[in-house]
Structure formats: C-alpha cells, structure tokens
Amino acid sequence: MKPFSWCAALVGLAVLAAPLAAAAQDGGCNPALSNAAYAADAGPDAAKMRCDLERASAIRDRAVSLYGARANSLVEIIDTASPSGAAYVYDVLADGPKLRLEARSVPEGRGPRCRLLATLPDDTANALSVLLTQSAAPDVPDYGPREDVTLNPDGSRTVRLVIDSHDIITRADTENGPRNFSRHAGSDDPVSRLNNLVIGIANVSPGWVCNASS
C-alpha cells in the first residue's frame, strides 16, 4: 500500500523542524513568470498552464536532488499535493516489451523519502496505451477545467466547479508528439483517467520502500 499512514506521521514530525514549505510544493507561481504569461498573446488558461509547468519543474528538480536523474519516460505525472502532504512524481518507462512504473515521494523539508519500482501488468499497459491515444486528440485541452465530476448511478454526471484545486501535471509522449497537461484531481477526461490509472496502481502496490531523511 502507498505509505500514507506512518509516512504521514514522520512527515508531520519532520516539518516541525523544517521551513514552512519547500519551494517545490509552493502553491503559487513565480510572479515574473505569471506576469509574462498574461502579457503574452495568450489566454488565461495558457498563463495558468505555464505556471503549473514551473511548479512541476521545481518538484521534478527536487526529486532529482533526492533520488538522482531518471531516464526519459513515456508518461510523467506530478501530483503537487497528495493526501500525505508530499508531492509525488510518477514515471512510466519502457522496459523491453513491458512498461515499468517508478514513483517517488518529494517531501516538504526533511520528510521521509519513499520510492516504488513496479512492472505494469499487461492489461494496465494496454489501458494506458488506449488513454494515451485518446489524450492525443486535438480537442483535449492542455489546461483542463477546475471541476469535480461525479458519475451518478443512472449514468449522468454531476459537475461542481472548484476554487482551490488539487493540481496534477502530466507530460505524455502521444502519437502526435509530447504534450503537457494540467488537471484538477477530481475532473474526468482521458488525461484524468490516465492519471488515475497510474496513481491507482501505485496506491495499491506493496513495493514501496521508505527511508527517513536526515
């Protein structure tokens, strides 16, 4: 299982002695970047997308400093604010005929470091390939609406707009080339389903290994 319980407790203890928040988990964007994005010939969603890419880059850099560089991945998913309080980086990589999942926690301050290495089952790998194809469609936006989507028993959908979103930033090598996406965790479209597939596999995996940081 994903190390939310005892790891969360360790995070809480470590944060007491750490700065209030690490730069990688900063919920805001660099003001200069934000101003430049809005000043450019682009809409507000493009500006928010650029800010989210900066946040993802900061988390990725922090992961590299903790675990070392990683190989180029087919899919990279960065959860900016998991329930444990840490960010998480999920990479899906080709490993011969199989797909391999590498997940890493990126704690605030001096929290525990947790890592997962797992091979994706064939049915999961096939589902991921289908979702990658769907995500490549030109009508799938880079920056998705901030809304919670609930599927009702009758098949209908209830949509509720959110103000304080739980952002997940995804980079995917699609059949039309690499694309970047930003989604609220509670939304529902091919990109969100891709995120949920990968994160869901990690959540139930028994292969997590955690080490308390010094």
- Written as one string, the DSSP assignment of 126-152 is HHHHHHHHHHTSTTS-SB---EEEEE-
pLDDT (0 to 100) of residue 158: 77
Of 151, 171, 149, the C-alpha closest to 161 is 149
DSSP code at position 121: P
- The predicted model gives 164-178 an average pLDDT of 88
Tokens 């920056």 correspond to what residue?
143
For 29, 71, 106, 140, 157, the CA distances from 144, given in Å and listed in that order, are 18, 27, 24, 8, 17
- The predicted model gives 163-183 an average pLDDT of 89
* pTM for the structure as a whole: 0.79
Report the C-alpha gap between 90 and 181 in whole angstroms.
14
Report the C-alpha gap between 171 and 138 in whole angstroms.
15
User: Residue 145: pLDDT band by 50, 70, 90 thresholds?
Assistant: confident
DSSP code at position 212: -
Count of structural domains, the chain: 1
- Asked if the model's pLDDT at residue 26 lies above 80, the reply is no
Better-predicted residue by pLDDT, 194 or 154:
194
Structure tokens that stand for 193 in this block: 């389903």
Measured between its terminal Cα atoms, the distance across the chain in Å is 24
Strand partners, 179: 172
Which structural domain range is residue 48 located in?
5-211
Of 92, 77, 104, the C-alpha closest to 168 is 77
